């Protein structure tokens, strides 16, 4: 009897070790606590030279489907343009959605319990991630498809969630990404807002430009 109990304890220990060493999604969600909000930065989600257009930006009046201000940054490029993960994280959603033009794909990557980023491929030609997949910065997320209808070109609507609400991504953009997006956005004359966001508290990011 005592010997059986020792064998049982040994096998249980082995099992616990096996499961805690395996890189399961659960392990990674627990491990994410190592990713602090203070270190959160949005690295370029694509090759900066491949940015062809910046459409609606955070705060563009009426830029959302429901007529409210736009809640992300629309980054446009050529068909098959590859987008990468802008942070380390875990894929919490891969879902098809629809707008007036195309079938789109939403991908949400969770950095930690506070921050997640949203990519809405409008539309996607390919998606490279699956639900609960851990991703590292720079790993492929998906590729743009082509939009043949309407006046809106294909883009990725890039949004940032903080505690479940959309917030302005500008303070979190890596500096070269922020400057490039603003440069491309401003290359179209007479735009409003004048910079890639209209938040009064972020205008100091644009003062030197």
Stretch that binds Zn ion, among 22-30, 43-51, 69-77, 87-95 (CB under 5 A): 69-77
Q: Tell me if 173 contacts Zn ion by CB under 5 A.
A: no
Contact string (CB under 5 A) for Zn ion, positions 188-207, x = contact: ---------x-x--x-----
* Cβ partners under 8 Å of residue 73, min gap 6: 54, 56, 57, 58, 157, 158, 159, 169, 181, 196
Nearer to Zn ion, 47 or 68 (CB): 68
Give the one residue of 42, 91, 135, 170 binding Zn ion; rule: CB under 5 A. Answer: 170
Write down the H helix ranges in the chain.
2-21, 25-31, 175-186
Nearer to Zn ion, 33 or 207 (CB): 207
Q: CA-to-CA distance for 123 and 161, rounded, in angstroms?
A: 21
Nearer to Zn ion, 41 or 199 (CB): 199
Q: CA-to-CA distance for 49 and 176, rounded, in angstroms?
A: 11
Give the one residue of 84, 108, 118, 168 binding Zn ion; rule: CB under 5 A. Answer: 168
List Cα–Cα distances, 7 to 16, 17, 18, 21, 193, in angstroms.
14, 15, 17, 21, 70
What 3-state DSSP class applies to 53? strand
Determine how β-strand 155-162 pairs with β-strand 73-76. antiparallel
Stretch that binds Zn ion, among 45-53, 70-78, 145-153, 182-190 (CB under 5 A): 70-78
Stretch that binds Zn ion, among 22-30, 78-86, 149-157, 186-194 (CB under 5 A): 149-157
Q: Tell me if 153 contacts Zn ion by CB under 5 A.
A: no
Give the interface with Zn ion as residue ranges (CB under 5 A).
74, 157, 168, 170, 197, 199, 202
């Amino acid at each position: 009897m005592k010997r059986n109990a020792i064998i049982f304890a040994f096998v249980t220990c082995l099992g616990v070790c096996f499961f805690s060493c395996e890189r399961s999604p659960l392990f990674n969600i627990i491990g994410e606590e190592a990713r602090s909000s203070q270190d959160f930065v949005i690295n370029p989600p694509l090759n900066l030279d491949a940015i062809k257009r910046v459409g609606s930006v955070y705060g563009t009046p009426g830029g959302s489907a429901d007529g409210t201000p736009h809640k992300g940054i629309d980054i446009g490029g050529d068909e098959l343009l590859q987008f990468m993960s802008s942070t380390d994280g875990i894929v919490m959603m891969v879902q098809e959605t629809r707008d007036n033009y195309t079938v789109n794909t939403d991908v949400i990557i969770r950095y930690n319990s506070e921050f997640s980023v949203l990519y809405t491929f409008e539309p996607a030609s390919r998606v490279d991630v699956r639900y609960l997949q851990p991703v590292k910065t720079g790993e492929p997320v998906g590729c743009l498809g082509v939009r043949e209808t309407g006046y809106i070109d294909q883009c990725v609507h890039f949004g940032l969630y903080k505690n479940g609400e959309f917030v302005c991504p500008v303070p979190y953009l890596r500096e070269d990404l922020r400057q490039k997006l603003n440069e491309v956005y401003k290359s179209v004359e007479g735009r409003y807002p004048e910079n890639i966001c209209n938040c009064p508290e972020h205008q100091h990011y644009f003062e030197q430009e």
